[in-house]
Structure 1
Amino acid sequence: MRITDEVAGALADRLPVVALESTLLAHGLPPGRNREVATEVENAVRAAGAVPATIAVLDGQIRVGLTGTELDRLCAAGSGLAKLSARDLGPAIALHHDGATTIAGTSVIAHAAGIPVFGTGGLGGVHLPPPGDALSWDVSADLDVLSSTPITVVCSGVKSVLDISATIEVLETRSVPVLGYRTGFFPAFYRRESRFALSWRVETPEEVAAVVRAHREHGPGSGVLLTNPIPAADEMSQDLHDRLLAEGMARVAEDGVRGGDVTPVLLDHFHTASAGVSLDANVALVLSNVTLAAEVAVALHTS
Structure 2
Amino acid sequence: MTTATEFRLTDAERALLPTPEEVAHYREHGWYLSRKLFGEEELDTLQAATELYYAGHRDRELSVRPPRLADWQPAHGPVQRHNDYVHHQSDAIGAVLGKPLIGAVAALLAGAEEIRIFQSTLIYKPPVPGEPSNRVPWHFDKHYWQTSTSEAMLTAFIPFHDCGEENGTITMVDGSHRWRELPSGEDSTRHFADRDKAELDAILDANAAFNGQQVHKVPMLIPRGHMSFHHCRTYHGSGPNLASHPRRAVSLHLQDGANEYRRHEGPDGSPVVYNHDVLVRRTADGRPDYADPAVCPTIWRGAL
Q: How would you bin the TM-score normalised by the shorter chain?
A: under 0.3
Question: How does the TM-score come out when normalised to structure 2?
Answer: 0.27
Larger strand share, 1 or 2: 2
TM value normalised by structure 1: 0.27
Bigger helix share: 1
